[in-house]
């Protein structure tokens, strides 16, 4: 797969699926796809398209979003919960589980228990899903740039509401530093705009 940027399209999800399925499983018998990029880039939409495409091919596929773990005050240090609850069990061939953050009151708190079954493919979607520490376990890393910071902020505010604008702006500043240090865009197998 080319390291240059490609346009985000239906054929882009097909190309990512082909590359993913051609790569070896590195988490026990599970192939892992990380769909990473900044907020408002379209990661969730793209990941859902990939999951649907994989399932239509008969692949047992599970989806885990970093949004189920992260909070405004804890954007990335929650990672050990994902490793211990999901990645380690799946690598051993047994289902994993985690408590998704519940935002219904406006204040995040641990919510429902989500079981992650052993699958052919695990799709990790969200900010930091392709971080350096997980890259040895990934079969494919996909980066979505999502346009300018202003465009992405507008999409995120449309999604999360005007009341979230200040937090989203703070989050974008965090992301800028995170991705620069982690080097995620440069490590991606596929980069989409």
| pLDDT tens readout for residues 40-88 | 899 999 999 999 999 999 999 999 999 999 998 899 999 999 999 999 9
Q: Round the average pLDDT of the chain to a whole number and report it.
A: 92
CATH number at residue 121: 3.40.50.300
- Cα dihedral value 50, 55, 59, 64, nearest 10: 60
For 69, half-sphere exposure in the C-beta direction (CA atoms, 13 angstrom radius) is 23
Domain tally, the chain: 1
Instruction: Kindly give the parts of the chain with pLDDT less than 50.
Output: 1-7
Q: How many CB atoms lie within 10 A of CB 154?
A: 15
CB-based contacts of 172: which residues, under 8 Å, 6+ apart?
Answer: 38, 39, 149, 152, 153
Domain extent at residue 45: 5-192
Q: What pLDDT is stored for residue 104 in this prediction?
A: 81
CA-based R_g, the chain, Å: 16
Which DSSP state fits 80? H
Q: What is the pLDDT of residue 4?
A: 47
Please state the pTM of the whole predicted model: 0.90
């Amino acid at each position: 797969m080319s390291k240059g940027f490609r346009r985000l399209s239906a054929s882009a999800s097909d190309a990512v699926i082909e590359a993913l399925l051609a790569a070896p499983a590195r988490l026990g018998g599970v192939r892992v796809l990380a769909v990473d990029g900044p907020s408002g880039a379209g990661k969730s939409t793209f990941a859902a398209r990939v999951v649907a495409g994989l399932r239509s091919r008969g692949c047992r596929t599970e989806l885990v979003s970093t949004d189920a773990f992260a909070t405004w005050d804890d954007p990335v240090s929650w990672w050990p919960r994902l490793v211990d609850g999901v990645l380690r069990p799946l690598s051993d061939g047994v289902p994993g589980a985690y408590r998704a953050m519940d935002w219904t009151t406006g204040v995040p708190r641990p919510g429902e228990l989500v079981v992650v079954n052993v699958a052919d493919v695990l799709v990790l979607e969200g900010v930091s899903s392709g971080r350096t520490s997980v890259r040895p376990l990934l079969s494919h890393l996909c980066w979505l740039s999502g346009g300018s910071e202003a465009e992405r902020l507008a999409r995120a505010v449309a999604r999360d509401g005007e009341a979230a604008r200040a937090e989203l702006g703070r989050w974008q500043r965090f992301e800028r530093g995170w991705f620069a240090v982690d080097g995620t865009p440069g490590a991606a197998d596929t980069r989409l705009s």
